[in-house]
Amino acid sequence: MFILSSVLLSISVIFIVIISFVYLNPKAVTHFALNAERNRSGLTRKEINLPDGLHFAYLEGGQGEPLILLHGFGGNKDTFTRVSRFLTQHYRIIIPDIIGFGESSHPPQADYAPPAQVERLRALAQALGLKDLHLGGNSMGAQIAMTYAAHYPTEVKSLWLLSPSGVWSAPRSDVLKVLAETKHNPLIARNVKEFSQVMALGMRKPPFIPKPMLSVLAQERIANAVLEERIFQQLLEHSVEEQVTGMKTPSLIVFGVQDRIISVVTAEYLHKLLSRSQVMFMPNVGHVPMFEQPRQSADDYFQFRAALPD
């Protein structure tokens, strides 16, 4: 009984120390947690300056055929960290902060429409010595990935499209209806409360994050709110539909059934446009399947890749 009490006391002390550290130095704890997740997934943070002066921060890991993964609107490179734990065992993974987000450059007056982002990402790929590659993207990232494949079809071997945006003829989602009716964008986080609300919109079951760490994570979005307003408007003005109609790039379209940001019906519209596409729906999942269900997302992707011709 004494030994059990001592063990419980030790556990309680450790728990109290951890909680105290979270509240006393939340920035350090948050960075430690992010780095631990990256290390677990075999990813290393890197950075590069392109000849035009743009700065890219990115994660890289694994070996094999290159797979570039593009995060969604308001996200950053760590959106794909969880699923990369499985992907780096098979492929060379590169996950950039897209220009305008994360630790990459944020030129205030730049063109942020998908065609302009494609040129920047292609310049990054060339700087890293990548020629033929596979592309994956979530939401905005998928919209950019489709645009990339449409502009450079011989350079993109396949597309992994997770909750893709850019098919604006499809029915509006709950979020886009709110935006149209109120002119208030619920995906822009101007304070910590709104950041928490954005997470709730994006995921069916957002992970528990202690409030001090949540506040640290929110600062990136809060500081970028004005620029994100411009970027979002440029995304809405760019449809991928005409340019991808009949496109022959093998494509896996994935939607969480509980997606509130992009209508799930979008999958049907896009499937008809892409001549070599297949669709998968994930139950009890929201807008970021690869974050909410990383193992299942990876397994589905492996099956898709295994069926591609050599």
Catalytic residue selected from 71, 134, 238, 287: 71
Catalytic residue selected from 139, 165, 263, 277: 139
Which residues neighbour 162 within 8 Å (Cβ) at sequence distance 6 or greater?
A: 136, 137, 138, 139, 141, 142, 254, 255, 288, 289, 290, 297
Q: Is 20 one of the catalytic residues? A: no
Which residues neighbour 51 within 8 Å (Cβ) at sequence distance 6 or greater?
A: 123
Which residues neighbour 218 within 8 Å (Cβ) at sequence distance 6 or greater?
A: 189, 191, 192, 195, 196
Q: Are 163 and 169 in contact (CB under 8 A)?
A: no
Q: Is 139 one of the catalytic residues? A: yes
Q: How many CA atoms lie within 13 A of 38 on its CB side?
A: 20
Dig out the tokens for 51 from the structure. 């000849």
What is the residue type of 69? L
User: Looking at residue 172, what DSSP letter applies?
Assistant: P
Query: Distance between CA 259 and CA 289 in Å, rounded?
Result: 9
Tell me the CA distances in angstroms from 142 to 73, 157, 270, 283, one per residue in order: 10, 15, 12, 20
What stretch of H or E contains 190?
none
Classified as helix, coil or strand, 69 is strand
Classified as helix, coil or strand, 196 is helix
- Calculate the CA dihedral of residues 138, 139, 143, 144 and round it to 10 degrees: -50
Query: Distance between CA 222 and CA 230 in Å, rounded?
Result: 14
Looking at the annotation, which residues are catalytic? 71, 139
